[in-house]
A and B are shown apart, each in its own frame.
Chain A
Amino acid sequence: AQSVTQLGSHVSVSEGALVLLRCNYSSSVPPYLFWYVQYPNQGLQLLLKYTSAATLVKGINGFEAEFKKSETSFHLTKPSAHMSDAAEYFCAVSSRLGGSQGNLIFGKGTKLSVKP
């Protein structure tokens, strides 16, 4: 079975600092990987996705993630945090090996706080 582990349920950074949110996945075949953001009382918005093309994926709002097969990781980064980045971030993996149209398996989420 596939799974996702997000290290750190809560990350706090200062405005302008680097954001690093960690995600490790479990799979014997490179799956589709996703990062979603959830603002308070809102639904899930896709930030970026890895679909076995480029290993460095750029998303919206200045976020990017790098797929590292050797480390089974897909960490999310942003060079400079903004107050509006405060939200909960979920890493997800597709359940179908090879990634075609499978349901998503989510990590527990990481709540990002940004201090002024």
Chain B
Amino acid sequence: ETGVTQTPRHLVMGMTNKKSLKCEQHLGHNAMYWYKQSAKKPLELMFVYNFKEQTENNSVPSRFSPECPNSSHLFLHLHTLQPEDSALYLCASSPTSGTRSTDTQYFGPGTRLTVL
């Protein structure tokens, strides 16, 4: 499935930098998600957007700031990150984030982030 794209694929940044991750889905979905995948830890859900509205913030530090200008685009703005924030950040989309737990989420390839 190539319907979800993420840029950049790799990012190296210093702790004082500001950068943004971009996700775009071409599937006509209404819900979008950010996940963090760290080594030796299960995937962690960070944020959920449904029809451009944030419906979940899973206790994510404020140095991560999501933005969803429309149902097709999702950004993750990064500032003053820590080395422990180095991880693979995955974006996903699904038809809806309502009560339909049967909906499949479609994932992008991820952005490999390294914080120096």
To the question of whether A and B form a pair in one complex, the answer is no
**B interface residue numbers (CB < 8 A to A):** none
